[in-house]
Structure 1
Amino acid sequence: MGDATVIRVGDAYDVVVGHGVSDRVVGLLAPGVRQVLVVRPEALARLAGPVLSRLREAGLEVHEAVVPDAETAKTADVAAGLWASLGRHAFTRSDAVVAVGGGTVTDLAGFVAATWLRGVAVVHVPTTLLAMVDAAVGGKTGINTAQGKNLVGAFHEPSGVLCDLDALETLPRADLVAGLAEVVKAGFIADPVILDLVEADPEGATRWDGPHTRELVERAIAVKAEVVAADLREAFRREILNYGHTLGHAVEQVSGFRVRHGEAVAVGMVFAAELAHRAGRVDDALLARHRSVLTSLGLPTTYADASFEELLAVMARDKKSRGSLLRFVVLDGLADPGRLEGPSEADLRAAFAALAP
């Protein structure tokens, strides 16, 4: 595949990373596909162009579905509209869905593909850093409800993923920086070289064409690929990918999703590190490294926009919780993730107080 890097996810599918790879979409579709529904947000007509063109050149019947931007796309109403489109065009199990967009689009389109006829093929063409290193890889799909983020969903592995690094050139800097939170997370839970690269050149890490951007993307994807290949349905090991997400998802929800996912996860990682520090599982240096790495990238490490009680109520509905028992992914050392079950309210409050600006 020329300059492309292929990262295999178990024996299930490939993630292709490189410049100009989005036009390889046809090669990820199974033989016999007759129709394709391309799902994209309103703002990405230009980025979707090469994908649409290549599909049509291959003689496929292509239908385009434009959905709202960001989290407003991940609703039951939008999903129902996509199901209706598939029904109108008589999509069968041998047809496919292609998602072009950020994590909200891959989550939504993947969920629709998982549930139409109990499962049709989906190919992801992520256009944001966050989607490349996180949402598009691993087969998690879902939509939001008033009660929380991604509470309705399904596991449905894609037929393939195309991470075209050229798409990052169009990404606003704030969104690129937010996506780096998931890259840093991979560094803390599994691959410390990621942290070394960021610390060596934090400014370069925040550029789409930075000297280590491609390596950072590939390393983060490789971490996720290894974890999900071993535990697709989050029976045990896959939970480590939720480092920082328990508080992070709560921050997102209480903000009405005005806080970017990566920004919320950055705060959540500091919170998790504070909890682990109080439990004697993380030393002073590793706790401080969380703040220094995230701050160097321009990611937040403090939070004061909601009360502890508001966030606790949302965390109680987190998917990792068991009954009334809160469960957090924490570290027992660098690249050594574990779990903390049922921390005391005193420790929770103290960790939250440590987030004060």
Structure 2
Amino acid sequence: VQMRLRAGPWLAQAVAAACPEARRIAVVTDNHVAVVHAAPLMEALAASGLVASQHVITPGDGHKTLQTCAALYDALADAEIGRNDALVALGGGVVGDITGFVASTYLRGVAYVQIPTTTLAAVDASIGAKTAVNTHRGKNLVGSFYAPQAVLIALSHLTTQARRSHAAGLVEAVKMAITLDAAAFARIQSQLPALLAYSGEALAEVVGAAVGQKAEVVRADGRDRGRRAVLNFGHTVGHAIEAGEDYRLLHGEAVALGMVAETQYAEAAGLCSGVLQPLTQTLLAMNMPVDWRRANLHVGALKCDKKRSGNTIVLPVVPEIGRASLHSVPLDKLVAFVTDGTQP
């Protein structure tokens, strides 16, 4: 991972260094990011002696599908991308997930580089080597473990987001801090005004900490078979809310609702205490939604969650700020709690 305050030619130079065998680079982006960030990168890649092609997809989780991947496979073939060439994901989490999945499967695997342009992608989605797309049955049900050659973060990219998107991306930093590092959670709370105002200094500290926290967990559990599951805090219910709301909510907004719902369930089950208030206060200060009962929830997506095993589901629980544990809870009790409020 490389992180600098500003974008510039260093991005193209780092792509070339990370993928030394590549002669052709396919830059995957969406039609929002392309207008703002694509041209300088394409020019810098060409100046580095690389043949660069641009491939624009439709933004949004509703388009993170196998259909989008299929169109991209054809576009890569048309661009004559070969086994030694590389893809670049220039965008947010959706672009990164699609690019990573396509890279892992096109020609049985080609190199790729992540250049996240959203806070969500910078602190979470671009780190960890997990790629996935959605199906009509649920979120991230088809995917692979496939690491990028490099993750290149220019903090100036993050300042071009809408404030809503930026705040929603910071939810993932809150998630990592509240599950892994009490001091980091306190820093986020104290620096929220600066973070929400795109302060470079505050972003460098918080993004850097979040990247480090996730990287440490991933190194210990690269295949998501154990400890890494704590990073799914808020995502079990959050993914079901995303699907229930037909992906109209931003991912971070759904995760915020999911963290509150899962914490309330854990408190009702006697698994934690004293966490709900500081979590809710922090999310409200970020202008995030917290009343998950007002959201639509897709029960089928909840039942298809990848952490399910038979009639139980592994639920990350935060017994105290900065520490998380994993609990197998009865799926029917969790479903009853989030659908009609039945106490576990």
Give the deviation of 1:95 after TM superposition: 0.5
1:286 matched to 2:275? The reply is: yes
1:85 matched to 2:75? The reply is: yes
Distance in 2 separating the partners of 1:62 and 1:315: 41
Amino acid corresponding to residue 314 of structure 1 in structure 2:
A
1:333 matched to 2:320? The reply is: yes
TM-score (norm 1): 0.89
Aligned to 1:54: 44
Name the SS for the 1:326 alignment partner.
Answer: strand
Give the deviation of 1:30 after TM superposition: 2.3
Give the deviation of 1:75 after TM superposition: 1.6
Any conservation in 2 of the 1:275–1:348 contact (CA below 8 Å)?
Answer: no
Distance in 1 separating the partners of 2:236 and 2:135: 17
Aligned to 2:309: 322
Distance in 2 separating the partners of 1:166 and 1:54: 17
1:227 matched to 2:214? The reply is: no
1:80-137 CA-to-partner distances (Å, cap 9, x unmatched) read 1111122223322210000100100000011100001211101011100001011111
TM-score (norm 2): 0.92
Give the deviation of 1:276 after TM superposition: 2.0
Distance in 1 separating the partners of 2:20 and 2:298: 48
1:189 matched to 2:217? The reply is: no
Give the deviation of 1:301 after TM superposition: 1.2
Aligned residue among 281, 297, 306 for 2:286 = 297
Aligned pair in 2 of structure 1 residues 256, 270: CA closer, same or farther (>3 Å)?
A: same
Distance in 2 separating the partners of 1:352 and 1:75: 27
1:122 matched to 2:122? The reply is: no
Aligned to 2:164: 174
Distance in 2 separating the partners of 1:159 and 1:37: 14
Aligned pair in 2 of structure 1 residues 57, 73: CA closer, same or farther (>3 Å)?
A: farther
Identity rate of aligned residues, in percent?
Answer: 35
Distance in 2 separating the partners of 1:348 and 1:114: 34
Name the SS for the 1:342 alignment partner.
Answer: strand
Any conservation in 2 of the 1:273–1:290 contact (CA below 8 Å)?
Answer: no
Any conservation in 1 of the 2:260–2:290 contact (CA below 8 Å)?
Answer: yes
Aligned to 1:100: 90
Aligned pair in 2 of structure 1 residues 38, 249: CA closer, same or farther (>3 Å)?
A: same
1:32-82 CA-to-partner distances (Å, cap 9, x unmatched) read 211111001011222122221121111111111011112243121211111
Any conservation in 1 of the 2:26–2:76 contact (CA below 8 Å)?
Answer: yes
| 1:128-277 matched pairs, under 5 angstroms | 128-209=118-199, 211-277=201-267
**5+ unaligned residues in a row in structure 1: which ranges?**
1-14
Give the deviation of 1:346 after TM superposition: 5.1
1:208-261 CA-to-partner distances (Å, cap 9, x unmatched) read 126522211111111111111221110111111111000000000011100110
Distance in 2 separating the partners of 1:293 and 1:155: 32
**5+ unaligned residues in a row in structure 2: which ranges?**
none
Give the deviation of 1:278 after TM superposition: 2.2
Any conservation in 2 of the 1:38–1:65 contact (CA below 8 Å)?
Answer: yes
Aligned pair in 2 of structure 1 residues 18, 193: CA closer, same or farther (>3 Å)?
A: farther
Give the deviation of 1:347 after TM superposition: 6.2
Name the SS for the 1:340 alignment partner.
Answer: strand
Any conservation in 1 of the 2:293–2:338 contact (CA below 8 Å)?
Answer: no
